[in-house]
A and B are shown apart, each in its own frame.
Chain A
């Protein structure tokens, strides 16, 4: 199956990769990740084409969030490399934006929606300086883009789940990055929020950005995205939606409760914890 139009090799094929990585906003090479010695991602290879909306789909526990977290250095890699425009993450960091899962923070935190959005500006503001009016205005514009201008001064626990998600999205916009990672932004949101997110995604694409989204709703993949990565502990298939998003590949990704890989991972975990 084609992985990517510019890279006609199979997903295991490594030829011609170095030439492409400088153009590719994200290239993952032979990456394996383990939690508590239990492997959750095996030997992932992927080159993201620039200026595309890319979905990562796969069943629960397939390692979707882990994939982006290990790209961003939040989860240590057991092996493999990740490059951003041919550079290391440290070098390219200022061009990368991130929307974490909404449930990953305590929303009963004493800040307003605008305060959270301005956190996306902190990198530009720098150490020890307060948030200036200029940055607050930039934050407000980002809130405006997700339709949350009127809620700027609301304490964040008084927002609905969808509104909280939009605040996170606005914070990422405030980062003014070229490559965005979004972890389940569509999970449990209302219709208005879903519309707002899709609008933002399209706007980002218009502005030549690349967005990688962990997604759970198979129905909307072809509507919202250009590219898809089908993931189940390894990359089952990756490429343009209309080529890769086939029922055969989906069956390979979702079919069968326990794949051989999952069983092997369990065995590794059992053996290393000595309880077998």
Chain B
């Protein structure tokens, strides 16, 4: 880390690269979280937070434009650019470690990589995934060859170039932080100005083209922002992991919202949050590379979102499934009671049903609770007694069953003996709209199912 050693530490406080051997204390954690643990550490935390913000915002458009994989190819294709820029600078006698030169080289070959993918798609019969695979590996291979050539031949030594592969946030300097800030600002500004145009192109580019929008130009702006973020992220998280900073916040945010503007804001916050938390954690733990910790933090947020997000999360999916099953089982009970014109389900019947339908204790408890809460049944010493509402529900289910059965027999050509089995799934999910439609269709064939006789209740 010759580069790092040469950096003076203006405040003389502890730096992110000092090796800790124990777990950090609470006060250390608090200090790091509140930007009080030294100049270098603060730079890194601020820089990665801004990078996360920019990447989160721009990543939304890369994701919606279905460019996730292409972004990965782009980041891998930056490596030969770094090697070429280094060699050119050395040959011409410039400072070969001047970071902006290296980043410009990275950007140039990154863009060439993307253009190569487009060219392969246009002039061959290969599909996009194959084209991306080829470009990604060929460019990365060329970059590795370049780096090893530099290692073997360059007089000034090449230590430090490897950091672009795995990232080394600790080497961040004030100009780098300014760069991150500038890119974050550009991302916010571009989104603010072009949200409508970006949305149109991402959703339906052929419509946009017919409508007279310069699709390739808008695409170029979007892709240009992706290139900027990627190149800026090389130093902090490295070219292998930078794609994660673009895509994961967007994917996680998608779980929380159905609106584009909210998606952009949440993705930006998740990106910034994981940049901040990740670099704080890596500052506190001994020898943990910031880039990898940031990406892992980001993935952690994604996993949490996947579990807890409303409507798209796993928990809410399970809740929905249990609710549906409760509804179906309760429907069956009410239907059975209605058809056997009895208002009572005895405790023994309930026990038999439990075994027969495979209810667990907990499920049976929830089932009975749901019936009681809905006011469709009341508990007596002998079992469950249906209220008027319960009988009505049974009648409704029974009628839906009959409607659907008739429909299948007269329209879908299902043998009557098979009808009952396929009806069982559908009758519970029929909406009032569909029921009305069924009634209309059947009555056009002269089939009517009488409304349930409520007087029996």
Would A74 and B196 be within 8 Å (CB), given that A111-B259, A119-B204, A155-B258 are in contact?
no
With A74-B209, A96-B210, A110-B257 as contacts: A104 and B204 at CB distance below 8 Å = yes
Residues in chain B near residue A155, CB distance under 8 A: 258
Partner of B200, one of A96, A104, A110, A122: A122
Question: Does B259 lie within 8 Å of A73, measured CB to CB?
Answer: no
* Residue among A98, A115, A131 making CB contact with B211, cutoff 8 Å: A98
Q: How far is the CB of B265 from chain A (nearest CB, A)?
A: 12
> CB-defined interface of A52-66 with B at 8 Å, one 1/0 digit per residue?
000000000000000
B259 adjacent to A110 (CB under 8 Å): yes
A127 and B212 contacting across the interface, CB-CB below 8 Å? no
CB of A5 within 8 Å of the partner chain: no
Contact A111 B209 (CB under 8 A): no
B: number of interface residues (CB 8 Å): 27
Contact B196 A131 (CB under 8 A): yes
Query: Contacting B212 at CB < 8 Å: which of A94, A110, A129?
Result: A94
- Decide: A127 and B203 in contact? CB cutoff 8 A: no
We find that the number of chain A residues with CB closer than 8 angstroms to chain B is 33
- Report A66-80 residues with CB < 8 Å from chain B CB: 69, 72-74
User: A110, B210: Cβ atoms under 8 Å?
Assistant: no
A185 contacts B by Cβ under 8 Å? no
In angstroms, Cα B451 to Cα A3, docked, is 57
A27 CB-CB contact with B under 8 Å: no
Contacts of B258 in A (CB 8 A): 110, 112, 155
Q: B203 to A111, Cβ gap below 8 A? A: yes
Q: Is B457 an interface residue (CB 8 A)?
A: no
Q: Which of A100, A111, A112, A171 has the most CB of B within 10 A?
A: A111
Known: A74-B209, A128-B193, A155-B258. A111 touches B204 (CB 8 A): no
The docked-state distance in angstroms from the alpha carbon of A97 to that of B212 is 11
A175 CA / B213 CA spacing, docked (Å): 14
Contacts of B263 in A (CB 8 A): 110
- B206, B259, B260: residue with the most chain A Cβ atoms closer than 10 Å: B206
Beta-carbon contact of B211 and A111 below 8 Å: no
Chain A residues with CB below 8 A from B206, complex form: 69, 74, 100, 104
CB-CB under 8 A from B212, the residues of chain A are 93-94, 123
Q: Is residue B202 contacting chain A, with contact meaning CB distance below 8 A?
A: yes
Say yes or no: A122 contacts B204, CB within 8 Å: no
Majority DSSP secondary structure for residues of B touching A? helix
B197: Cβ under 8 A from any A Cβ: yes
The smallest beta-carbon distance between A232 and chain B, in angstroms, is 24
User: Which residues, 205 to 220 on B, are CB-close (under 8 Å) to A?
Assistant: 206-207, 209-213
Distance of A36 Cα from B121 Cα, bound (Å): 11
B29 interface residue (CB < 8 Å to A):
no
B391 → A minimal CB distance (Å): 33
Q: Which of A73, A100, A106 contacts B207 (CB 8 A)?
A: A100
Provide the residues of chain A in CB contact with B197, threshold 8 Å.
122, 127-128
Tell me, yes or no, whether A125 is within 8 Å of chain B by CB: yes
Does A116 sit at the interface, judged by CB under 8 A?
yes
Known contacts A111-B203, A131-B196; decide if A122 and B257 are in contact (CB<8 Å): no
Q: Is B445 interfacial (CB 8 A cutoff)?
A: no
Q: Does B254 contact A (CB under 8 A)?
A: yes
| Cβ–Cβ < 8 Å partners of B199 in chain A | 111, 115, 119
Query: Known: A109-B64, A109-B203, A130-B196. Is A122-B259 also a contact (CB below 8 A)?
Result: no
Interface membership of A260, Cβ < 8 A: no
Asked if B357 is at the interface of the complex by the 8 Å CB criterion, the answer is no
| Distance in Å: Cβ of B57 to nearest Cβ of chain A | 14
Say yes or no: A72 contacts B210, CB within 8 Å: yes
The distance in angstroms between the C-alpha atoms of A104 and B202, with both chains bound, is: 12
Contacts of B209 in A (CB 8 A): 72-74
14 pairs, A vs B, C-beta closer than 8 Å:
A36-B125, A94-B212, A110-B263, A112-B258, A115-B199, A115-B260, A119-B203, A119-B207, A120-B211, A122-B196, A122-B200, A123-B211, A131-B196, A273-B125
9 closest residue pairs by CB, A with B: A155-B258, A98-B210, A128-B193, A93-B212, A72-B210, A105-B204, A110-B260, A109-B203, A110-B263
Interface residues of A (CB under 8 A from B): 36, 69, 72-74, 93-94, 96, 98, 100, 104-106, 109-112, 115-116, 119-120, 122-123, 125, 127-131, 155, 171, 175, 273
